[in-house]
Homo-oligomer: A and B are copies of this chain.
Amino acid sequence: MSTFRERLHHLQSLKKSTLCAGIDPDLEKIPACLKDSDNPIFTFCKDIIEKTAPYVIAYKFNFAFFEIYGAQGWETLAALKRLVPDDCLTIADAKRGDIGNSARNYAAAIFDKLGFDAVTVNPYMGADASAPFLAYKDKGVFFLCLTSNPGAADIQLLGADSPLYMHVARLIKEWDTARNCGMVVGATKLAQLEELSQLCPDIPFLIPGVGAQGATTEDVLKSLAGKSALIAASRSILYAGNDSDFASAAADAASEMQSIMAQNHP
């Protein structure tokens, strides 16, 4: 069986795409025509996944948007995960992080029970909190390194000469013995993206914040210089249309992003 990283490389070449569609459905934003269906969130995401799959190499499910519905939300999440086609990876954007048996249970819930290909993990608790996730050698473990929100400055940017996120990146590089690490790196500043890319050339990046905070997809692809990455887009795809044509509108938005990626494909 291929590892997450091998599958990522393969799909990137095959589909000439680095697009990761974020699945974070908001009941208040989904088209009115769906609101009478039994499970509007499920129907909405199902249609979006079916239509966008040709352009996308990964779906990133944001757990917060499902946990808000309790046990039913967890069931919706599991059902949606199951219908993602084989030529797309699945990422549990759960930002978990705990020690010992807690981490083992979080990892088992996401990898064994739900069957996700990758997870996002918060590194604050260090190596022994990361190990239970990394024990899954064929999966992908994306550690938060440098996030794209203003609050990144509070902790991640500390240390003038050698900011904390660079230290975290070096730790992630150490933890990558099974070649199953990834890093979440915001697209806020291209110089930081380049710096991290040079430090960790083999570690795939998961990149949120493209478009919204300045850097364009072209800029980001250029500074990655061909390295393995997933560029995440959520609202620009999910809410591209707000009528009965929402899924086609989402596919058009995804296709447009994929075209840019294909043109900049190394």
**What CA separation (Å) do A171 and B144 show in the bound complex?**
20
A99–B149 contact, CB under 8 A?
A: yes
Interface residues in A53-107 (C-beta closer than 8 Å to B):
62, 64-65, 67-72, 74-75, 78, 95-106
**What CA separation (Å) do A100 and B26 show in the bound complex?**
13
B153–A126 contact, CB under 8 A?
A: yes
Q: Give the A interface residue count (CB, 8 A).
A: 55
Q: Which residues of B contact A168 (CB under 8 A)?
A: 155
A164–B154 contact, CB under 8 A?
A: no
B126–A124 contact, CB under 8 A?
A: no
Q: Which residues of B contact A62 (CB under 8 A)?
A: 98, 102
Copies in the complex: 2
Q: Which residues of B contact A151 (CB under 8 A)?
A: 99, 125-130
B68–A113 contact, CB under 8 A?
A: yes
Q: Which residues of B contact A154 (CB under 8 A)?
A: 123, 126-127, 171
**What CA separation (Å) do A74 and B126 show in the bound complex?**
27
Question: Does A217 sit within 8 A of B, measured CB to CB?
Answer: no
Contact of A70 among B67, B102, B104, B114 (CB under 8 A): B114
Main secondary structure of the interface of A (DSSP, over half): helix
Q: Which residues of B contact A190 (CB under 8 A)?
A: none
A 18-29 binary contact with B (CB < 8 Å = 1; else 0): 000000101000
Q: Which residues of B contact A152 (CB under 8 A)?
A: 125-126
Interface centre among A64, A78, A159 (most CB of B within 10 A): A64
Contact of A78 among B68, B70, B78, B167 (CB under 8 A): B70
Contact of A158 among B75, B100, B104, B164 (CB under 8 A): B164
Known: A98-B95, A101-B24, A102-B24. A155 touches B123 (CB 8 A): yes
Q: A interface vs B, CB < 8 Å?
A: 24, 26, 62, 64-65, 67-72, 74-75, 78, 95-106, 108-109, 113-114, 122-130, 144, 147, 149-156, 158-159, 164, 167-168, 171
The 3 closest A-B pairs by CB, nearest first: A126-B151, A126-B154, A64-B105
